[in-house]
C-alpha cells in the first residue's frame, strides 16, 4: 500500500473524561468491539498489574488513579485506530495536555448523571484552542441520570459548539429502553450484560409501530417528542463543521453493558479525520511525504527503576518508519538507529516493523530524547505547538545530604526533561531550585522518584510563589530594565527561558502595568 493510502486509513484520537465517567470501561469495550481483545476485563487487569511494578506507581495505586497514559492500536473496518489514553485525574494534567497535541480527534466521555465536570472542562479548553474535532459519548444511561436535553445544553454552554445528537435515549435507569439511531432511523433495544456484541442486539426498524408505546411506556413518546423538538432546533450534522471543531456529534449509551459502543467506533471511522499536515517553523509537513519525521510528545520512565531507561513516545508526522532506519535528533544533530522500537498493539508491547503518520512509536533510550524533540531522516525541522503550562504550585527543593547535590541536579534535570515537573533556577545566586507543578501529586511523585531512582533524599519546602509567567520583549532596553529591577523574582526553566514568579495575581498585575512593553505568557511552546 502507498504511504498516502496508509495515512488515509489512520485515525488517532484521545479519550478525555473526568475520573469515573467510564473511560477505562469504554476503552476496553472499543478494543473488544474492534476484535483487538477477546475478553472484557483485560485492560483493567493490565492496569492493576502495571501498578505492581514500581514504587512511584505505588502512589497511583494508593490514590486509585492512573498517572501514566498509554497507547493502544487496533484495526477496525479498513482503519487503523490509535487510541491515546489520558490520565483523568486533575494532577498530571500537563502530561495530558501534551497527549492532546498528538491526536487528530478527541472522544469525550461524560457521566450522564454529572454532565460536564471540571477536569473535562480543562481538557476541552485545550481541544478548543487547537480546534480538535470532538465526538461525545454520554455514558451510564442504565442509571437515573440527567435529562438528555439538559445534558445537551450543558455541553453546548461548556464547549461553545453545537451539539448534534446522532442517537437519542429512550428512558433511563430501570426504564432504559434503548437508543434511537437517528441516522439509520432504527432503535437498538437495551439489554444489560457484558458478553454481548452489537450484532446480538434487537433492532427495531418500524419506529411508528404502535406497540412500541406499550413496550417502552411513556418514555417512547417522550423520546420521540424530544427528537422532534431537537431536530427543529438543532442544525443537521455537518461533517465540515465537525472537522473545524464547531459541532460535536453526540451518542448515548452504557459502556459497561456494551451498549452504544458500536456507534462510537463507527463514528470514529466515518467522521474522525486522518492525519493532516503539521506545522514546523521551516515549512508545513505533509503526512504522505516519503521521508520520515516525528515528534516526542511524552516521555515515560521505565517501570523498572533500576534501569534508568525511558520510553520516548513519538507521534509520526510524515513518511514511513521502518525498524533499524537511521534517524537524526534535530536538537543535537545526533544520529540514532533504534532497533527495539515498540508499538502498542492492543495492549501488548510489540516490536514495531513499520509505522505511518498518525501512529505512535516508543523508543527506549537513556536520555538522548527529550520532550519536544524532532526526529527526521536528516532534515532540520522544528515542529511547533508542544505546550508547557505555567505552573500553579511551587516548592523549593533541597537535598538533605549536601554531598548528593549533583545527584539532585541530575535527577531533576531528567525528571524535568520527562515533563514530570518543571524546574526553575532562580536568577539570584544561592537560591534553592524551585519546582513548579500543576498538580500537588507531581511533587510527591518527584520526591519518591528522586529517592528510588537517584538515591536522593530531597527536602521539599513551601515556596511563597503562586504563579509564573514566561516573558518576552521586542525591545532589549525595556527587557533589561525589567529584569534588572525584578531580579529577585526571575528564574530560568530547563531551556533557559526566563519566567517571572509572583506571589499573587495582584503582584503580577502591578508589574504588567509598570512594564507595558513586556509580554507575559501562561504557556510556552516548545521549539
Ligand atoms: P474511568 O475512571 O473514567 O476510567 O472510569 P471506569 O471505566 O473505571 O468506570 C468508573 C466506574 O463506573 C466503574 O465502577 C464502572 O464499573 C462504572 N461504569 C462504567 N460504565 C458504566 C455504565 O455504563 N453504567 C454504570 N452503571 N456504571 C458504569
Q: What is the pLDDT of residue 51?
A: 38
Which string of DSSP letters, residue by residue, matches 174-202?
Answer: GG--EEEETTTTEEEEP---SS--GGGS-
- Cα 356 to averaged position of ligand 1 atoms, centre (Å): 33
Q: What is the pLDDT of residue 308?
A: 63
Q: In the sheet where 162-165 sits, what is the strand order? A: 71-76, 79-85, 10-17, 105-111, 134-139, 247-252, 162-165
Rounded-to-5 percentages of helix, strand, coil across the chain: 30, 30, 40
Residue 73 — pLDDT band, cuts 50, 70, 90? confident
Cell of 32: 473488544
Question: Is residue 105 a contact partner of residue 133, using CB atoms and an 8 Å limit?
Answer: yes
Closest approach atom of ligand 1 to CA 28: 7
- Which residue has the least CA distance to atom 28 on ligand 1? 256
pLDDT value of position 53: 37
- The answer to whether residue 278 scores a pLDDT higher than 90 is yes
At 57 the pLDDT is 47
Does pLDDT of 341 surpass 90?
A: no
Q: Residue 456 corresponds to which cell in the numbers above? A: 536522593
256 lines ligand 1 (CB under 6 A): yes
51-70, pLDDT tens digit by residue? 333 344 444 444 433 334 47
CA distance linking residue 65 with residue 59, whole number of Å: 9
pLDDT number for residue 60: 45
Could you report the per-residue pLDDT of 348-357, keeping only the tens digit for each? 445 567 899 9
Which H or E element spans position 161? none
Single out the residue of 152, 1, 184 nearest to residue 78, CA to CA.
Answer: 1
Percent of the chain's residues with pLDDT above 70: 87
Torsion, Cα 65 69 74 76, to 10 degrees, reads 70
Q: Is the CB of 143 under 6 A from ligand 1?
A: yes
Neighbouring C-beta atoms of residue 406, cutoff 10 Å: 11
Q: Is the CB of 119 under 6 A from ligand 1?
A: no
Averaged confidence pLDDT in the chain? 85
For ligand 1, mutation pick of 256, 257, 259, 261 (most atoms within 8 Å of CB): 256
The model's pLDDT over 397-419, given as tens digits with 9 standing for 90+, comes to 999 888 898 999 999 988 887 78
- List all residues 6 or more positions away from 358 whose beta carbon is below 8 Å from its beta carbon: 7, 10, 11, 12, 80, 82, 104, 274, 275, 287, 315, 316
Q: What are 501-513's pLDDT values in tens digits?
A: 999 999 999 999 9
- Known binding positions for GTP: 17-24, 85-89, 139-142
What is the arithmetic mean of pLDDT over 156-171?
A: 92
* Ramachandran bin of 131, using left for φ above 0, alpha for ψ from -120 to 50, beta for the remaining angles: left
Task: Tally the residues of the chain.
Answer: 527
Cβ of 24 closer than 6 Å to ligand 1, yes or no, is: yes
Distance from Cα 526 to the centre of ligand 1, integer Å: 36
Residues 352 and 323: beta-carbon distance below 8 Å:
yes
Nearest-CA residue for atom 22 of ligand 1: 140
**Would you place residue 148 in the very low, low, confident or very high pLDDT band (cuts 50, 70, 90)?**
very high
Interval 465-504: pLDDT, tens: 999 999 999 999 999 999 999 999 999 988 889 999 999 9
Long-range residue pairs from 204-212, CB within 8 A, at least 24 positions apart, any chain = 207/180, 212/187
Supply the pTM of this predicted model: 0.81
Residue 329 CA to ligand 1 center (angstroms) comes to 41
Nearest CA to ligand 1 atom 21: 256
Q: Residue 18 CA: which ligand 1 atom is closest?
A: 3
- The confidence score (pLDDT) of residue 67 equals 34
255 CB less than 6 Å from ligand 1?
Answer: yes
**Cα 22 to averaged position of ligand 1 atoms, centre (Å):** 4
Q: Which of 26, 20, 347, 18 has its CA nearest to residue 194?
A: 26
117 lines ligand 1 (CB under 6 A): no
Higher-confidence residue of 347 and 293: namely 293
**Is the model's pLDDT at 257 over the cut of 50?**
yes
ipTM: 0.99
The secondary structure of residue 304, as a DSSP letter, is -
Which pLDDT band, with edges at 50, 70 and 90, does 244 fall under?
very high
Is 12's C-beta closer than 6 angstroms to any atom of ligand 1? no
Q: What is the pLDDT of residues 347-380, one digit of tens each?
A: 444 556 789 999 998 888 888 898 889 999 999 9
Distance 20 CA to ligand 1 centre (A): 6
Ligand 1 center from residue 192 Cα (angstroms): 14
Nearest CA to ligand 1 atom 26: 140
Q: Cα dist. 271→27, 164, 340 in Å? A: 18, 13, 34
Ligand 1 pocket check for 254: Cβ under 6 Å: yes
Q: How confident is the model at residue 158 (pLDDT cuts 50, 70, 90)?
A: confident
Give every CB contact of residue 333 below 8 A, 6+ residues apart in sequence: none
Instruction: Please indicate whether residue 88 or residue 222 has the higher confidence score (pLDDT).
Output: 222
419 SS3 class = coil
Q: Which of 19-23, 95-99, 315-319 has the highest mean predicted lDDT (pLDDT)?
A: 315-319
pLDDT value at 40 more than 60:
no
Which atom belonging to ligand 1 lies closest to the Cα atom of 143?
26
- Give yes or no for residue 66 CB within 6 A of ligand 1: no
Amino acid at each position: 500500500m502507498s504511504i498516502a493510502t496508509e495515512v488515509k486509513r489512520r485515525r488517532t484520537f484521545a479519550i478525555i473524561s473526568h475520573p469515573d465517567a467510564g473511560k477505562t470501561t469504554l476503552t476496553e469495550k472499543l478494543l473488544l468491539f474492534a476484535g483487538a481483545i477477546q475478553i472484557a476485563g483485560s485492560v483493567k487487569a493490565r492496569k492493576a498489574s502495571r501498578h505492581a511494578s514500581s514504587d512511584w506507581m505505588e502512589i497511583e495505586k494508593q490514590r486509585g488513579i492512573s498517572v501514566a497514559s498509554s497507547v493502544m492500536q487496533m484495526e477496525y473496518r479498513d482503519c487503523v485506530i490509535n487510541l491515546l489514553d489520558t490520565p483523568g485525574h486533575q494532577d498530571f494534567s500537563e502530561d495530558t495536555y501534551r497527549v492532546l497535541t498528538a491526536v487528530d480527534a478527541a472522544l469525550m466521555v461524560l457521566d450522564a448523571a454529572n454532565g460536564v465536570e471540571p477536569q473535562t472542562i480543562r481538557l476541552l479548553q485545550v481541544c478548543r484552542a487547537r480546534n480538535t474535532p470532538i465526538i461525545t459519548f454520554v455514558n451510564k444511561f442504565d442509571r437515573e441520570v440527567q435529562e438528555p436535553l439538559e445534558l445537551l445544553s450543558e455541553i453546548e454552554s461548556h464547549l461553545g459548539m453545537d451539539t448534534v445528537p446522532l442517537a437519542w435515549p429512550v428512558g433511563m435507569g430501570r426504564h432504559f429502553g434503548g437508543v434511537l439511531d437517528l441516522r439509520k432511523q432504527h432503535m437498538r433495544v437495551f439489554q444489560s450484560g457484558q458478553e454481548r456484541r452489537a450484532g446480538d442486539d434487537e433492532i427495531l426498524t418500524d419506529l411508528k409501530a404502535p406497540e412500541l408505546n406499550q413496550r417502552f411506556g411513556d418514555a417512547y413518546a417522550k423520546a420521540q417528542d424530544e427528537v422532534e423538538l431537537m431536530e427543529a432546533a438543532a442544525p443537521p450534522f455537518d461533517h465540515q463543521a465537525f472537522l473545524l471543531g464547531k459541532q460535536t456529534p453526540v451518542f448515548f449509551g452504557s459502556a459497561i453493558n456494551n451498549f452504544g459502543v458500536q456507534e462510537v467506533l463507527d463514528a470514529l471511522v466515518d467522521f474522525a479525520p486522518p492525519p493532516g499536515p503539521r506545522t514546523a517553523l521551516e515549512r508545513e509537513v505533509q503526512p504522505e511525504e516519503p521521508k520520515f519525521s516525528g515528534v516526542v510528545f511524552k516521555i515515560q520512565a521505565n517501570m523498572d527503576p533500576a534501569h534508568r531507561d525511558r520510553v520516548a513516545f513519538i507521534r509520526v508526522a510524515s513518511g514511513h518508519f521502518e525498524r533499524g532506519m537511521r534517524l537524526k535528533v534535530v536538537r543535537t544533530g545526533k544520529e540514532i538507529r533504534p532497533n527495539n522500537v515498540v508499538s502498542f498493539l492492543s495492549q501488548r508491547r510489540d516490536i514495531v516493523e513499520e509505522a505511518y503518520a498518525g501512529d505512535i512509536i516508543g523508543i527506549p533510550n537513556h536520555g538522548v530524547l527529550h520532550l519536544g524533540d524532532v526526529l527526521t531522516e536528516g532534515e532540520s525541522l522544528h515542529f511547533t505547538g508542544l505546550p508547557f503550562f505555567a505552573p500553579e504550585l511551587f516548592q523549593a527543593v533541597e537535598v538533605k545530604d549536601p554531598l548528593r547535590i549533583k545527584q539532585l541536579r541530575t535527577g531533576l534535570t531528567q525528571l524535568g526533561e520527562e515533563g514530570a515537573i518543571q524546574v526553575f533556577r532562580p536568577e539570584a545566586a544561592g537560591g534553592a531550585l524551585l519546582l513548579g507543578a500543576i498538580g500537588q501529586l507531581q511533587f510527591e511523585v518527584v520526591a519518591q522518584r528522586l529517592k528510588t531512582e537517584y538515591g536522593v533524599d530531597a527536602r521539599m519546602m513551601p515556596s511563597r510563589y503562586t504563579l509564573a509567567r514566561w516573558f518576552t520583549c521586542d525591545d532589549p532596553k525595556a527587557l533589561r530594565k525589567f529584569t534588572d529591577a525584578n531580579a529577585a523574582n526571575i528564574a530560568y526553566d530547563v531551556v533557559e527561558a526566563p519566567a517571572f514568579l509572583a506571589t499573587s495575581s495582584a503582584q503580577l498585575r502591578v508589574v504588567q502595568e509598570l512594564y507595558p512593553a513586556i509580554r507575559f505568557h501562561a504557556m510556552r511552546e516548545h521549539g
